[in-house]
Amino acid sequence: MTSGVLLIDKPSGLTSHDVVARVRTVLDTSRVGHAGTLDPLATGLLVIAVGSATRLLRFAQVETKRYLARVRFGEATDSLDADGRVVSSTDDVLRPLDLVRATAEGFLGASFQRPPMVSAIKVKGRRLHELAREGVEVERPERPIEVTRFEVRETPDPREWDLDIECSTGTYVRVLGADLAERLGTLGHLVALRRLRSGAHDVTEAVTLEFLEQCEDAPGQMRLAGDLLAGLESVVLDEIQTVAMRRGQRLRLEATSAGPLAAYDSAGELVGVLAAREELWQPDVVLVGVNA
Amino acid sequence: MKVTRYDLELTRPSVVALGVFDGVHLGHQTIVRRVVERARELGAAASVVTFDPHPAAVVSSSGGPAVLATLSQRLEWFEQLGVDQVRLIDFTMDIARQSAEQFVDEILVAQLGALSVVVGDDAHFGRAREGNLETLRVLGASRGFEVESAGALGEGRRYSSSLVRELLGEGDVEGANHVLGRPFTLRGVVMHGDARGRQIGYPTANLDTQEHQALPQLGIYAGLTRVEGDWIPSAISVGTRPQFYDGARPLVESYVIDYRGDLYDTEVDVAFLSLLRPEARFSSLEALVEQMGRDVAAAREICATYGSRRPDLLG
């Protein structure tokens, strides 16, 4: 039974789900899921879980992600990227590099961000992009975000800027691009977006779909399922604890964090995930057998 | 650096430099450097798509323009610039008939996973040179890759491979070297000649250069010859000797100053620094030997000014 993590460098034009569908075909298994959606226009790192590793996806929420975005000043679109319709435009687009940099620095640190109308977030049980299609504008609660890097680089086109952004999970880079334009007294939307990092994973470790489909050992491109749990505190269980956990029994353990914990056996195999429950640690996910 | 003439098994998408890049002059270097920089930014592979043989040599009945450098030299310069992989396109008549769109879809998108393509603003590709910067931008917009042009570079006249050929043809080696960003260098294997030089005290290495190699105007030059990694001051003759050789192909001979070893059948590089004098006929052997003494002295001086820089390294 194949199980593990695949790092895919998504091409532009595919939805994250399209990527999952192609991975299903290559590996001939239906149990494939992804962490952190990338918009169709976007390229870069998409973390894919295969087999029982899909059960670990909900723990794979990493704290920071890094993107390279290209923003074009002069036009606002309804989706805030090049996939949307232009809703307004201006000729007042040229800004000096120093000013763009100084304005970008103003985004650093913790703040609140209003999700874009075209997004997968649900408000009162309806997805925002469905409501947007019907022309309904709804109240969207602001969400806390943190920006830890916001560097600006020139591009060959004076209306366009490259934004090297590191931010907390859940931050909309599209919104940062449009807000940057707004603070500079113009309009803007993203023309390109590429995810460079997600937690500990870097896009340079990812493979293309074409490579995965053509290479002779597609399952060999997978990493261990435990890769998804890099953000969790890990514990090593002794033999008795391992058996107990596999049976679903609660364990008494020393841990520094409030959990959840990634639990490994003495041979370094991932046993599963433990969650704190009344002074004890209760198995939340248990993977079956070796390389389960 | 990975080099392939076939489909690449690409693990990573690419930022692509597209062009013939004959001679890898300063304009080409700007394009390739930009590709490497952009690839590092995007976490992609820095790729060069280039042609061998020169497209014009396939489609033109005259065999196209003379080439400035061998494929192996071109590849070495790409590697120096930080390129990760090179996709060589065997420029057969088949690919010459491919439309610009087919070329983009098959090579740039499917094989290389292009995220970004950088070309000179005078680039042409596809059947009958139908593809240009504008077509590439239009195709890029629908295929999801960005297109950058590295505008024209040069003072007065734009840097180009044909400008280098022209300057070499006038014997203006300094001018050609300026555009190239390093000395013009011939690569070839030392072959057996008639040993006439040896008889008059100046044994020379006769260079067997590639077919269609561009050469400087006939004359005597100061330069450097690379022997087992060391660059040694040399007096170089580019000349014709119709009484001994058939055809009009000039002969390149390098007198490697103070070198006593045997170079036969080894590959050497001969770098040109400056024209000393045009080719001349001498009334006597004595007069020739005397002139050669002066040529060698002048070559030593010019090489001393050039110092310990290495002609094979890009500036």
**pLDDT over threshold 50, residue B193:** yes
pLDDT at A291 over 50: no
Highest mean pLDDT among A93-107, B235-249, B295-309 belongs to A93-107
One-letter amino acid for residue A103 of the chain: T
B208 falls within a domain: yes
Q: Indicate whether B157 belongs to any domain.
A: no
Of the listed ranges B29-43, B145-159, B210-224, B297-311, the one predicted with least confidence? B145-159
pLDDT bracket for residue A289 (50, 70, 90): low
Q: Is the pLDDT of residue A184 over 60?
A: yes
pLDDT at A227: 87
Tokens 């209306």 appear where?
A159
Q: Which residue, A51, A10, A7, is CA-closest to A29?
A: A51
Find the mean pLDDT for residues B20-28.
Answer: 93
In terms of domains, do B13 and B144 share one?
yes
- B112-132 pLDDT, tens per residue? 999 999 998 877 887 878 888
Option in A43, A196, A214 nearest B9 (CB):
A214
List, in order, residues 6 or more apart from A136 with CB less than 8 Å away: none
A208 contacts in chain B (CB < 8 Å):
10-13, 113
Together in a domain, B84 and B201:
no
| Cβ–Cβ under 8 Å, residues A47 and A5 | yes
- Tell me the pLDDT band of A106, cut-offs 50, 70 and 90: very high
Q: Which residue of A has its CA nearest to B144?
A: A12
> Do B186 and B140 share a domain, yes or no?
no
For residue A246, pLDDT beyond 50? yes
Residue B299: inside a domain = yes
Tally of structural domains, chain B: 2
The residue ranges of DSSP E strands in chain A, in sequence order, are: 4-10, 32-35, 43-50, 64-73, 75-77, 86-89, 109-113, 122-123, 126-127, 143-154, 160-168, 188-198, 201-202, 233-236, 261-264, 270-277, 280-286
The complex's ipTM?
0.73
**A288 and A51 Cβ atoms separated by less than 8 Å:** no
Q: B11 and A192 in contact by Cβ < 8 A?
A: no
- Which residues of chain A are within 8 Å of residue B143 when distances are taken between CB atoms? 12-13
Kindly report, residue by residue over B196-242, the tens digit of the pLDDT: 777 778 888 999 998 889 999 999 999 999 998 899 999 999 987 64
Question: Is the model's pLDDT at A137 over the cut of 80?
Answer: no
Residues B50 and B105 in one domain: yes
Find where tokens 């995810």 sit.
A195
Answer yes or no: do A208 and B12 touch at CB < 8 A.
yes
| pLDDT for the residue B123 | 79
Share of chain B above pLDDT 90, in %: 56
Mean pLDDT of B46-67: 81
Residue B169, in any domain of the structure: no
Residue A239, classified by CB atoms within 10 Å of its CB into exposed (0-12), middle (13-18) or buried (19+), is: exposed
Among candidates B41, B144, B146 on the partner chain, residue whose Cβ is nearest the Cβ of A13 = B144
Residue of B nearest to A213 (CA): B9
Would you say residue B22 has pLDDT above 70? yes
> With bands split at pLDDT 50, 70 and 90, how would you rate the model's confidence at B25?
very high
pLDDT at residue A290, rounded to an integer: 47
Chain B partners within 8 Å of A211 (Cβ): 9-11
The yes-or-no verdict on residue A201 having pLDDT over 60 is yes
- CATH value at residue B135: 3.40.50.620
Tokens 């985004």 — which residue?
Answer: A107
Contacts of B11 in chain A (CB under 8 A): 207-208, 211
In terms of pLDDT, which residue wins out, A133 or A229? A229
Task: Write down the mean pLDDT value for chain B.
Answer: 88
Q: Which residue of A has its CA nearest to B118?
A: A156
Show me where the domains of chain A are located.
Answer: 4-62+200-227, 64-198, 232-286
Reported as type and span, the H/E element at residue B18 is: strand B14-18
Q: Is the dihedral of CA B212, B216, B218, B219 positive or negative?
A: negative
* Cα A52 from Cα B232, distance rounded (Å): 65
Substitution target in A166, A193, A211 with the highest count of B β-carbons within 10 Å is A211
Architecture of domain A4-62+200-227: 2-Layer Sandwich (3.30)
Contacts of A187 (CB under 8 A, 6+ apart): A73, A74, A75, A76, A88, A89, A90, A178, A181
The whole-number pLDDT of residue B153 equals: 79
Report the pLDDT averaged over residues B304-315: 85
User: Which of A53-67, A120-134, A265-279 has the weakest average pLDDT?
Assistant: A120-134
Residue B82 has pLDDT above 70, yes or no: yes
CB contact under 8 A, B9 and A203: no
Same domain, B133 and B187: no
**Per-residue pLDDT, B13:** 93
Q: Is the pLDDT of residue A223 over 50?
A: yes
| Inter-chain CB proximity A214 and B148 less than 8 Å | no
Residue with structure tokens 């995007």? B42
CA distance B12 to chain A (A): 5
Q: Can you give the residue range of the structural domain that contains B57?
A: 7-150
Contact (CB<8Å) B110/A210: yes
- End-to-end alpha carbon distance in chain B: 20
Q: Is residue B255 part of a domain?
A: yes
Tell me how far apart the alpha carbons of residues B120 and B52 are, in angstroms, rounded to a whole number.
18
- Unique residue bearing structure tokens 């009009």: B248
Q: Single out the catalytic residue among A39, A179, A265, A284.
A: A39
Tens digits of residue pLDDT in A6-64 = 999 999 989 999 999 999 999 999 999 998 889 888 999 999 999 989 999 888 877 89
Expressed in percent and rounded to 5, the helix, strand and coil fractions of chain A are 25, 35, 40
Closest approach of A3 to chain B, Cα-based (Å): 21
Domain-terminating residue out of B134, B150, B166: B150
Give the residue with greater pLDDT, B292 vs A255. B292
Give the nearest chain B residue to A11 (CA atoms). Answer: B113
Select from 3.30.1330.60, 3.30.2350.10, 3.50.30.50, 1.10.3720.10 the CATH code of A64-198: 3.30.2350.10
Active site residue A39: yes
**Poorest-confidence range of A60-64, A81-85, A184-188, B108-112?**
A60-64
Is there a contact between A38 and A144 (Cβ–Cβ < 8 Å)?
no
Query: Tokens 């292009």 correspond to what residue?
Result: B114
Return the CATH architecture of domain A232-286. Answer: Roll (2.30)
Which residues from chain A sit within 8 angstroms of residue B14, using beta carbons? none
Substitution target in B42, B47, B147 with the highest count of A β-carbons within 10 Å is: B42
Maximum CA pair distance of chain B?
Answer: 72
Residue B35 has what pLDDT? Answer: 97
pLDDT tens per residue, range A140-174: 788 999 999 999 999 989 999 999 999 998 899 99
Residue A1 has what pLDDT?
60
Q: Does B13 sit within 8 Å of A13, measured CB to CB?
A: no
Confidence class of residue B245 from pLDDT cuts 50, 70 and 90? low
A156/chain B closest Cα distance in angstroms: 7
If asked whether residues B25 and B145 sit together in one domain, one would say yes
CB distance A215 to B10 below 8 Å: no
- Asked, for residue B95, whether it belongs to a domain, the answer is yes
Considering only CB atoms, which chain B residues are within 8 Å of A207? Answer: 11-12
Contact B21, B28 (CB under 8 A): yes
Which of B198, B144, B150 has its CA nearest to residue B25?
A: B150
On the question of a common fold for A4-62+200-227 and A64-198, the answer reads: yes
Q: Are A81 and A191 in contact, with CB atoms under 8 Å apart?
A: yes
